[in-house]
Amino acid sequence: MAKLFDNKTISPGGTIDGVVELPGDKSISHRYALIAALAEGRSEIRNYSTAADCRSTLSCLRRLGVETDFTRERLRISGQGLGGLQAPRRSLDAENSGTTIRMLAGVLAGQSFASTLSGDASLRSRPMRRVVEPLRKMGAEIRAHDDDCAPLEIRGGALHSIDYTLPIPSAQVKSAILLAGLYADGVTTVREAVRTRDHTELALREFGATIESLNKSVRIHPRPKLEPRQLIVPGDLSSGVFFIAAALIVPDSALILHNVGLNPTRTRVLDFLISIGAAIHLASVQLRDGELIGDISVRHSALAGGEISGAHAAEMIDELPMLAALGPFTEKGIEIHGAQELRVKESDRIATISAGLRRMGARVEEFPDGLRVEGRSAGKLRGAKVEPGGDHRIAMALAIAALGAQGDTVIRHADCVAVSFPEFFVILERLRGKGTDG
């Protein structure tokens, strides 16, 4: 993918005002594409995510013999059925997408051919044992670098059903096991101590799989005939959180986000923001294709600050960098614990967001499992040159914090936002009534 820009300069001031239609939810887009590829016939998906990660999933599917037709208006996928994928001629490149490599590993575990899954340097450093171990328990033969990292060499075959308890909360691992369970010899059960996002369960049900959810366990029945579907991906709340934060930070701001996914496993971040004083309201909430959607309105607010820990940290894992960056704009600051998983994302997100905020003058204390960012009493942020470490969510979080700083902030290597949200800076400047700069 061509770079949109390298460095990006963010000037403070202005207001955040307007209406936003967010790009399709990244998590749901991955899942719709993967399951549509296993259905029998052509599916049509509207508002499929423009993120580079989701394009990586499509690229891998094409190498497995799945025909895709992707335009601005829709994605069409010609499903091959559970047994119709073809052996790839070369390694499957997930690029930077952890969701692609982990979930596709579950599908490939049930195939009758061998395949290799790899990715870029960042992805090859991320932990894969968490998905390799349960798939091995189901009978798949998988080799990993140092038994924990990509590339993953997978020799698929007949799989056994298992009853598996996730040792750490992970929707990606849960999804990989459920997808492998489509090929098992009996009912596969996944149990979790902390409820993770359930987009895979909802999507599988939409495509016709028999899947049962009870409390914190999920059971999937094997060998369904998956039917093609016409689906619309909701707007991505995890992307929308950056604009919500912008409106909360910048005085006199008012913003409406249309048709946003409001899945209860994703909205803990809204609950937290409301609890610390954010003026956030939901409207037009409805059920579409198994997912809750609605409109979010937000106005500039005085924020008290607060603490995030335990299960709540796991439920908001993608939003934590942005919440940390809100700390200097709150009365008491933001403190996060129980977020060790941030250490093994696209970057060490605890270290990277801490370093960026410190460069801007924030007082930050770092913990093994989180951080504390001091509130307004520590002083106003100042513009600085910051390095997001190639991490899209860090780049966006620092850009939003820069809106409330004194002086210009330069986000280095800002093109990394394309991993999840290539339109981010264009939409941000439109909401401020400004053009883009390089």
Which residues are part of the catalytic machinery?
318
3-state secondary structure 257-273: EEEEECCCCCCHHHHHH
CA distance 340 to 334: 16
CA distance 103 to 106: 5
DSSP state, residue 376: G
CA dihedral (260, 264, 269, 273) in degrees, to 10, reads 90
CA 38 to chain centre: 22
Which residues touch 106 (CB under 8 Å, ≥6 apart)? 131, 135, 175, 176, 177, 178, 179, 180
**Single-letter residue type at 15:** T
Cβ-contact 61, 34 below 8 angstroms: yes
Q: Map tokens 């820069």 to a residue.
A: 402
For residue 415, what are the β-bridge partners? Answer: none
Structure tokens at 52: 């580079």
Whether residue 151 has a cis bond before it, omega within 30° of 0? yes
Amino acid at 61: L
The residues that bridge with 281 in the sheet, in sequence order, are 297
Please tell me the distance from the alpha carbon of residue 242 to that of residue 176, in angstroms, as a whole number: 29
| Closest alpha carbon to 424 in 18, 12, 14, 20 | 20
Q: If you ran DSSP here, which 8-state letter would residue 363 be given?
A: -
The rounded distance, in Å, linking the Cα atoms of 377 and 111 is 58
Cα-atom radius of gyration of the chain, to the nearest Å? 21
Give 78's strand partners.
42, 67
d(CA 295, CA 314): 25
Cα maximum dimension of the chain:
62
Distance CA 48, CA 53 (A): 12
Q: How far apart are CA 334 and CA 385, in angstroms?
A: 23
Question: Distance (Å, rounded) from C-alpha 228 to C-alpha 35?
Answer: 9
